[in-house]
Each structure stands twice: as C-alpha cells, then as structure tokens.
C-alpha cells in the first residue's frame, strides 16, 4: 500500500495537516481522504495538542469539500508549463533528503507541489494494483500540478499504462561501497535529522570492518545490489541479485527514461543543471544549496570509514563489479551532460547561454 504525504501546496497546508493526506482518484473525481493512523503511528505515537489537531482536520476538511461529489466540480485547466510532474525515485543514502528539502523550501516560492510517496515498510516494489493507482494519481490529479513526487520506489514505466504524457524522472546515485557503509551506520546510530528516533540496529556497536571480517549479513556484497534494481524497475529479473540483464536494463532506462541523473559526490553541479534546465521547479536552488541551513541536512551520527582491506574484499565480489560499472556509467553520462552545459572560469562553473537560433525561415511573412 502507498500513501502520498507531506504535501507542499500553493496554499501551504498547516504542518500538522501535511501528513494526513492520501490520494485515490475514482471516476472523474479526485478524492482527498484523511489517513487516520498508520502502523508507524501505533509504534511511535506522536502527542498533539487538541487545538493543533482541530486545525489539521479543519484544513483537510476544507480540501475535501473542494473535491467531493457535492455540487459541480470545476475542471482545472492547466497551462502547458504547469502540466508537468517530476518523479524523484530516490535511492536510500545518496543525499536524497538534502536534495528533497531544497524542493520543499522552494515549492511555495516557485508555486508547485511536493508529495512524498510513502510505501508500506519502504518497499520499493509496488503491487500491480498500486502501480495502476499511482499512475492514475500522478496523471489525473490536476490540482497537484505542477508536482514533484519523491520516495524510495523503483522505476515505473508509465507508458505501459497507456498514459498520454509521461512524468520527468530524475535521480542521484552514489559510490556503491560508500552508500552501503553510510546505510550500515545509519541503521545503528541514526542521523542528525531525527536524533531521537530509535533505529532498527540500535545497540549494535560492531564496526563495518568487523562486520565484513566476520561475514555478517548486513555488510554482505548482496547488500550492494540496490541502485541497479532501482533504475531497472518492477520486473522480477531486476531484483535477481547479480543479473546482467538487470544491469543493462538499468543503463537503458538511465539513458532513455531519465531526464538527468547526478551523483552524490557532485550534488551541487546536479542542482545547478536542474536549475538551468527546469527553472519552473528549481529557480533559486543553487543559491539555496550553497547558503541554506538544509544544504547538508542529514548526516549519519557516527560513521567510521572502512579500511583498504575491507574495501578490497568487497571489490572482489561480482556484485560490486556490476554496481560499480553502473555507477561509473552514470558518472560518465553526468559529466558528459555537464561538459556541454557549463564552462569553468576562475574555479567557478557558469551555465552556458543559449547556443542556437533560427534562420532562413520561409515563407517570408509580410
């Protein structure tokens, strides 16, 4: 099951209401329903004063009234510039929270909407029926366009569902060993984003080096297999660890289905290119990243870099070789795009101005 929560709208919902919205369009109407409680809320109940709860319900009720079957529903007409959806199917531990918070910081100013795709147990593979629901949500929910959707879900081919206009996919990937090390310590020590939250492996003091030396499951080469399936998609072979077909499909999708894929190590350049190419969403993003308080928002609280011996042992794995091949492929493509979009002067990168124009236009107008 999936929920769409933490929504930034043109009218900015109260923060207490942002986590209470899920979408399920039926017939020609878009319904906005109040999510009572999730499993997480049973495990970690959050206290909320009555006045805040009343405000949250009031905000959601107002939205419900605008989109229910009571009375005629006004059709929303979108300009071509606004009929745009971006999907950021973020890979865990690739600086995705830092980047996503830039989208949240800019959404009111740039007048677009941000929606978090919250899947049950963070499962990156949707059921077939949820795939249909999600595609309908994204394509038919005009009130949320232009929209920026983000979540830990694998690539989904919208063309399979017969939609007329596909979303724009973007993503960021990271050196596979660095990503795994970061995730390993994140599960044990958390980060500075939500320091009080108890993590699944909290209390386990074993270092990553010790885990690899002991042949532990949390640091096994199989745990490296994540970025390839995220780009490969919802086919069963994508999640077959070590599949050469999955690697080639991930490469194909990166080139043909993604507008831009950056790397964590060069995140600022990724943001700069997005601002130049998609200013409707990312105008002001580069400056915000450089100066804003949330630029490096999420840092794992305690992390020890692995030794050369540990790295060498992981690099003997065929799984690492494939994940690293994909990473190098993505890095080469990103650097190619960047080389044709920017110029360096005095150590600074500058976006190139338009380098084409039209001429010899016939027939001549009077």
Which residues are tagged catalytic? 150, 152
Pair type for strands 168-173 and 258-263: parallel
Cα separation, 57 vs 32, in Å, equals 12
Structure tokens given for 306? 């692995």
Phi first, then psi, for residue 189 (nearest 5°) are: -120, -5
Closest to 295 (Cα-Cα) out of 48, 133, 101, 106: 101
- In our burial notation (b when 16+ CB lie closer than 10 A, e otherwise), range 130-156 reads bbebbbbbbbbbebbbbbbbbbbbbbb
C-alpha 252, offset from chain centre: 19
Cα separation, 94 vs 268, in Å, equals 13
Burial level of 194, CB count in 10 A (0-12/13-18/19+)?
exposed
Pair type for strands 147-150 and 85-88: parallel
Write down the residue that tokens 């960047």 correspond to. Answer: 338
Cα angle value 300/240/224 (rounded, 5°): 25
- Whether 78 contacts 145, CB under 8 Å: yes
Beta-strand ranges (E) seen in 13-144 are: 21-23, 32-34, 85-88, 113-119
């Amino acid at each position: 099951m999936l929920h769409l929560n933490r929504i930034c709208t043109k009218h900015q919902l109260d923060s207490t209401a942002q986590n209470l919205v899920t979408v399920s369009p039926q017939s020609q109407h878009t319904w906005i329903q109040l999510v009572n409680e999730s499993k997480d809320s049973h495990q970690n109940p959050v206290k909320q004063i009555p006045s805040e709860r009343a405000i949250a319900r009031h905000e959601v009720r107002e939205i419900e009234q605008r989109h229910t079957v009571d009375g005629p529903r006004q059709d929303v007409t979108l300009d071509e510039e606004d009929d745009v959806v971006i999907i950021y199917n973020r890979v865990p531990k690739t600086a995705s929270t830092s980047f996503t918070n830039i989208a949240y910081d800019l959404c009111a100013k740039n007048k677009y909407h941000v929606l978090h795709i919250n899947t049950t147990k963070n499962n990156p593979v949707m059921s077939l029926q949820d795939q249909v629901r999600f595609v309908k949500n994204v394509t038919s929910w005009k009130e949320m366009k232009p929209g920026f959707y983000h979540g830990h879900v694998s690539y989904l081919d919208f063309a399979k569902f017969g939609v007329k206009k596909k979303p724009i996919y973007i993503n960021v990937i990271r050196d596979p060993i660095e990503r795994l090390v970061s995730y390993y310590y994140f599960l044990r020590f958390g980060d500075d984003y939500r320091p009080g939250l108890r993590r699944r492996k909290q209390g386990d003091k074993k270092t990553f080096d010790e885990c690899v030396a002991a042949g532990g499951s949390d640091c096994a080469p199989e745990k490296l297999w994540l970025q390839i399936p995220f780009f490969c998609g919802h086919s069963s072979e994508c999640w077959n660890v070590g599949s050469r077909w999955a690697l080639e499909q991930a490469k194909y999708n990166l080139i043909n289905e993604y507008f831009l894929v950056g790397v964590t190590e060069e995140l600022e350049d990724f943001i700069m290119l997005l601002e130049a190419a998609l200013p409707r969403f990312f105008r002001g993003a580069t400056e915000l990243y450089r100066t804003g308080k949330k630029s490096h928002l999420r840092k794992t609280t305690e992390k020890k870099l692995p030794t050369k011996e540990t790295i060498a042992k992981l690099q003997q794995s065929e799984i690492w070789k494939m994940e690293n091949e994909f990473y190098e492929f993505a890095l080469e493509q990103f650097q190619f795009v960047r080389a044709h979009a920017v110029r360096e002067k005095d150590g600074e990168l500058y976006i190139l101005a338009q380098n084409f124009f039209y001429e010899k236009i016939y027939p001549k107008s009077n």
